[in-house]
Amino acid sequence: MTPTIRLGRLFGIEVGFNWSLIVIFVLVAWTLASSVLPGAAPGQPVLAYWLVGLAGAVVFFVCLLAHEFAHAIAARRRGMKVGGITLWLFGGVSQLEGEPPSPGAEALITGVGPLASLVVAGVAYAVAVAGATAGAPALLIQLAGWLAFLNLALAVFNLVPAFPLDGGRLLGSFFWWRTGSRQRGVRDAVRVGRVVALLMIGLGLVELFVGSIVSGIWIAFIGWFLLSAAGAELAAMEVRTTLRSVPVSAAMSSPVVTVPEWIRVEDFLASAASQHHFTTYPLHALSGELTGVVRLRDLLRASAADRAAMTLRDLARPIAEMPRAHPEESLGVVIERVGSALENRVLVFADGNLVGIVSPSDVARILTLRQALASRHPRAVA
Ligand SMILES: [Zn+2]
């Protein structure tokens, strides 16, 4: 879901959409204009069907956004960071960073999404009924009725108890509350979700042979999607749990080699860079004070002319912009805090001294090591 187009900010939350959404937009507008509306309100001009169809597709996305904003706003109220909202093929996704503070908080953050869809469905239904009694244009009444049905379907579909749907998360928070452990809660909910996914695949196959081919394939496809999502959810959970038990000091590259900021890029690449195996070098000024950080990758990207003319300082990231951590902090907590800034490295300070650097490859290395150890002694980490 990475190639995202930014739409803007609303309530301080970044909203974007994925290219796959354009397919859905066209499909929704086309379905409305060519079959739903002509079937429900016949005898109107083709242009009217298309205008109302396009408006319907836009309102459909507003409804998806209402669902996601309910999640995002509830999460922010419970102290979680919201990375943004992305609309894509299967609806919307709110990027919530970190984990909810309690099972109750998770149930609330999750439950408000389907609830918002239900409320929108109720409002759309009321509009359709009021429109019909007031003698509003037939197309608008039909559009409101269609939106009521769609939002009801959205709420019901999202309550299917399988990850990554809201139903799966609600079940996870219930098991978390029962067992006292979020990890166990997710694991139990994933187990239920797998059964649900397999049942959907089975149902899809039956439908394929005795009923409609299209809906059979569609149900089986969603089942397959939920089955693979269950595995991904579990893997992400294990990674988070593992990283949380590791202190920053175990993952960081240490000791750190700092280099003078006034060295020319060309000279540095010819000498110092080939002596060490580091990918990141902090820079110091004449006074010994740290001023910035260069990544080998950024130096190698510079043109030959720039390498000859520039000093390391010219290509450095200022020290004040670098994310920092303490050696005794949990690696998992640090990663949740810095997010994608890990790509630029995290500097580890103890008593004001730079004692290490954490890069994504350091994290990958410790993760592989710990998971290999855990699989040899499964009981020790359960
Ligand atoms: Zn939801």
Q: 3-state secondary structure string, 204-235?
A: HHHHHHHCCHHHHHHHHHHHHHHHHHHHHHHH
375 pLDDT exceeds 70? no
Query: What is the pLDDT at residue 120?
Result: 94
How far apart are the CA of 63 and the centre of ligand 1, in A? 12
User: Which of 1-15, 41-55, 241-255, 359-373 has the lowest average pLDDT?
Assistant: 1-15
Same domain for 369 and 294: yes
Q: How confident is the model over 240-255, as a mean pLDDT?
A: 85
Q: pLDDT tens digits for 97-151?
A: 777 888 999 999 999 999 999 999 999 999 999 988 888 788 888 889 989 998 9
Q: Collapsing DSSP states into helix, strand and coil, what is residue 180?
A: coil
% of the chain beyond a pLDDT of 70: 95
Are residues 215 and 129 both part of a single domain?
no
pLDDT given for residue 125 in this prediction = 94
The helix (H) or strand (E) run that includes residue 349 is strand 346-350
- The pLDDT tens digits for 93-107 are 777 777 788 899 999
* Residue 110 CA, ligand 1 centroid: distance in Å: 6
CB 4 within 8 A of CB 17: yes
Quick one: pLDDT band at residue 381, thresholds 50, 70, 90? Answer: very low
Helix (H, G, I), strand (E, B) or coil at 72: helix
Single out the residue in 244, 271, 290 at which a domain terminates: 244
CATH assignment of the domain containing 338:
3.10.580.10
Note whether residue 164 is domain-resident. no
CA of 166 to the centre of ligand 1 (A): 5
Which amino acid would we find at residue 238? E
How remote is the CA of residue 207 from the centroid of ligand 1, in Å? 27
pLDDT at 132: 84
CB neighbours (10 Å) of residue 193? 29
What pLDDT sits at residue 192? Answer: 92
- pLDDT, tens only, 18-73: 777 788 888 888 888 888 888 877 777 878 888 888 988 889 888 888 898 899 88
Structural domain range at position 365 = 248-381
| 379 has pLDDT over 60 | no
- Compute CA distances 269 → 196, 204, 237, 291, whole Å: 56, 59, 40, 19
Pair 63, 140 in one domain: yes
Tell me the average pLDDT of the chain. Answer: 84
- Kindly give the distance from the C-alpha atom of residue 241 to the centroid of ligand 1, in angstroms, as a whole number: 24
In a domain, 168, yes or no: no
Q: What is the pTM of this model?
A: 0.70
Separation of CA 245 and ligand 1 centre (Å): 30
Vertex 71: Cα angle to 70 and 73 (nearest 5): 65
Q: Are residues 25 and 88 in the same domain?
A: yes
Is the pLDDT at 156 greater than 80, yes or no? yes
Q: Are residues 366 and 289 in the same domain?
A: yes
Confidence band of 90 (pLDDT split at 50, 70, 90): low
Question: What CA–CA distance (Å, rounded) separates 366 from 180?
Answer: 28
Torsion of CA 74, 77, 80, 82, to 10 degrees: 60
Flag whether pLDDT at 1 surpasses 70: no
- Of the candidates 68, 106, 233, 261, the residue annotated as catalytic is 68
Q: Do 267 and 377 lie in a common domain?
A: yes
Residue 258 contacts residue 280 (beta carbons within 8 Å): no
33/117 same-domain check: yes
How far from 374 is each of 3, 232, 239, CA to CA, in Å?
A: 35, 19, 11
380: pLDDT confidence band, cut at 50, 70 and 90? very low
Start-to-end C-alpha separation, the chain:
32
pLDDT at position 124, please?
93
**Tens digit of each residue's pLDDT (9 = 90 or more) over 301-348:** 888 888 888 898 888 888 888 888 899 988 888 887 777 777 878 889
Is 99 known to be catalytic? no
**151 with 220, same domain?**
no
Question: Which among 132, 159, 186 is the end of a domain?
Answer: 159
- For residues 310 and 282, membership in a common domain is answered with yes
Q: How would you label 148-169 residue by residue, b for 16+ Cβ within 10 Å and e otherwise?
A: bebbbebbebbbbbbbebbbbb
The tens digit of pLDDT for each residue in 201-226 reads 999 999 888 878 888 888 888 899 88
From 192, 221, 244, the end of a domain falls on 244
For the beta carbon of residue 380, count every other beta carbon within 10 angstroms: 8
How many domains does one find in the chain?
3
